[in-house]
């Protein structure tokens, strides 16, 4: 499996490459950024605080 970030592609280019809907790409971007900042996936994070 190719790591597209290491290949220097942007999320938009990756989205076009794999032909995902923009909303799904946006969701992946926000989840990735959330992981980078908070160290956990937003999708698996508990809703309660």
Quote the CA–CA distance of 46 and 15 in Å, as a whole number. Answer: 27
Cα–Cα nearest to 5, from 43, 35, 49, 44: 35
Confidence (pLDDT) at 47: 47
Confidence (pLDDT) at 32: 82
Determine, yes or no, domain membership for 26: yes
User: How many domains would you assign to the chain?
Assistant: 1
Determine, yes or no, domain membership for 3: yes
Confidence (pLDDT) at 48: 42
What is the pTM for the complete model shown? 0.35
Residue 29, domain extent: 1-44
Taking only the tens place, the pLDDT of each residue in 1-49 is: 556 556 666 766 766 666 656 677 778 878 887 788 777 666 555 444 3
The CA distances from residue 10 to 3, 45, 47, 48, in Å, are: 12, 25, 29, 32
Quote the CA–CA distance of 37 and 39 in Å, as a whole number. Answer: 6
Confidence (pLDDT) at 6: 65
Confidence (pLDDT) at 2: 58
């Amino acid at each position: 499996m190719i790591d597209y970030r290491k290949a220097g592609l942007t999320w938009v280019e990756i989205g076009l490459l794999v032909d995902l809907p923009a909303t799904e790409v946006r969701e992946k971007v926000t989840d990735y950024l959330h992981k980078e900042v908070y160290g956990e996936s937003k999708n698996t994070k508990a809703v309660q605080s």
